[in-house]
Amino acid sequence: MHKQQPHVDIVIPNFNGVAFLDTCLRSIVRQTYSFFTIIVVDNGSVDNSLEFIRKQYPMVHLITWPENKGFSPAVNAGISAGNSPFIFLLNNDTELEVDCLEQLVKAATFQAEYDFFAAKMLSYHDRHILDGTGDGFLRGGVGYRLGTMENDDVLYSRPGRVFGACAGAALYRRELFDSIGLFDEDFFAYLEDVDFNVRANSRAKKCYYVPDARVFHMGSATTGSKINSFTVRLSTRNNLNLLVKNYPLALFFRFGLALLIYQFFWLVFVVKKKQFLAYVSGVAEFIGNLPLMLKKRKEVLAGGTLTTNELAAIMNAAERDVICSIMHRRQAQGKTNRLLSLYTRLFL
């Protein structure tokens, strides 16, 4: 490793991803930035992922488990296995632009006041369509990938602060994890990065969007369709976990109506998708986890450095970014934004 260049641990969780691994790993090997270690954490794959990696990419450091422990435990294990000053978390169903890692490290070098960095994610199959340009936040307790399903245009070519990053393609300073902890392993999968983003913001940590760092994402490659019983159950459970764990009591009062609106429309959505039983299972699991989340709540709130007013202001701004992104997409589709405009005027 050249002593003038910071080393990066690239952490990739994998579960039965042999169909995607060659595309992902080949794009890493071809990076213009070469000071990195690849760590793949395999969650009990039953395809030939392990054999493929050992044969085709022997330089990869493999961590193998006999069963699927989930996304959060996998990335945590990868983070803990390395010691580089930067960690690049990456989904296995991605392909990197040749200078992606170089652009992220450059941003981290020049933007020293920022703690983590979001890449520009685009559709693997239609590379003019955005998958996400950093994460916004809805006060109902979920994230939203800014720009998702929109055309890539000048609006999303401007670098700058965002609420957080999608953990499918983001660079983190190791000291950030040392400061606020790793991803919550009780989330298993879904919203673990949103929980992390909320925790980071509550402790005055900042995320920077790097539009020149391009990642092409296949999307939902591990779980199949985006909406199924698995995703609805975990999303429902983890949304409620996040609220109980991270929201000071004053935020429940301040955001009460926004919380109710979100929960109502989420319920309508899952009923429309015929996933009501999965929703009920998620609520039941949340109730079972409630004592654990209340215990974690004490630790999280005790570690916060922002006042409730400061955190509320950041969350309000993050939701405005989300609504602007949704309205921009709908306008391009020829749809009206009357309800969103009314919501903005009334509640933001």
Note whether 192 and 71 are same-domain residues.
Answer: yes
Residue 225 banded pLDDT, cuts 50, 70, 90:
low
Note whether 181 and 251 are same-domain residues.
Answer: no
Note whether 260 and 186 are same-domain residues.
Answer: no
| C-beta separation of 229 from 278 below 8 A | yes
Note whether 239 and 169 are same-domain residues.
Answer: no
State how far the alpha carbon of 103 is from the alpha carbons of 5, 97, 109, 313, in Å: 13, 10, 10, 30
Q: In the chain, what is the straight-line distance between the N-terminal and C-terminal CA atoms, in Å?
A: 49
Residue 198 has pLDDT above 60, yes or no: yes
Identify the domain boundary among 217, 251, 280.
217
Average pLDDT of the chain is 95
Q: Which of 120, 106, 105, 311 is nearest to 205 (CA)?
A: 311
Identify the domain boundary among 176, 195, 217.
217
Identify the domain boundary among 169, 192, 217.
217
224: in domain: no
State how far the alpha carbon of 128 is from the alpha carbons of 124, 226, 246, 334, in Å: 9, 20, 36, 19
Note whether 172 and 253 are same-domain residues.
Answer: no
- Which range, of 10-19, 66-75, 219-228, averages the lowest pLDDT? 219-228
Residue 226 banded pLDDT, cuts 50, 70, 90:
confident
327: in domain: yes
Average pLDDT of span 251-269: 95
Note whether 247 and 152 are same-domain residues.
Answer: no
100: in domain: yes
- Which is more confident, 226 or 12? 12
Q: Which of 124, 123, 121, 129 is nearest to 100 (CA)?
A: 121
| Domain count for the chain | 2
3: in domain: no
What is the distance between the alpha carbons of residues 214 and 212, in angstroms, rounded to a whole number?
A: 6
Note whether 55 and 118 are same-domain residues.
Answer: yes
The single-letter DSSP state of residue 298 is H
Residue with tokens 């069963």: 67
2: in domain: no
List of residues 6+ apart from 212 with CB closer than 8 A: 99, 103, 120, 159
Structure confidence by residue, pLDDT tens digits, 85-107: 999 999 999 999 999 999 999 99
pTM: predicted TM-score of the whole model, two decimal places: 0.94
- Its domain, for residue 267, covers 229-347
90: in domain: yes
Note whether 212 and 244 are same-domain residues.
Answer: no
Note whether 192 and 242 are same-domain residues.
Answer: no
Query: Looking at residue 66, which CATH number applies to its domain?
Result: 3.90.550.10
What does R_g of the chain's alpha carbons equal in angstroms? 20
Helices (H), 18-85: 18-29, 49-56, 71-81
288: in domain: yes
Note whether 134 and 282 are same-domain residues.
Answer: no
Structure confidence by residue, pLDDT tens digits, 166-191: 999 999 999 999 999 999 999 999 99
Q: What's the pLDDT score for residue 4?
A: 72
222: in domain: no
- For 223, left (φ over 0), alpha (ψ -120 to 50), or beta? alpha
DSSP string, 119-136: EEEEESSSTTBEEESSEE
Note whether 202 and 342 are same-domain residues.
Answer: no
Note whether 34 and 128 are same-domain residues.
Answer: yes
Residue 223 has pLDDT above 70, yes or no: no
Q: What's the pLDDT score for residue 220?
A: 58
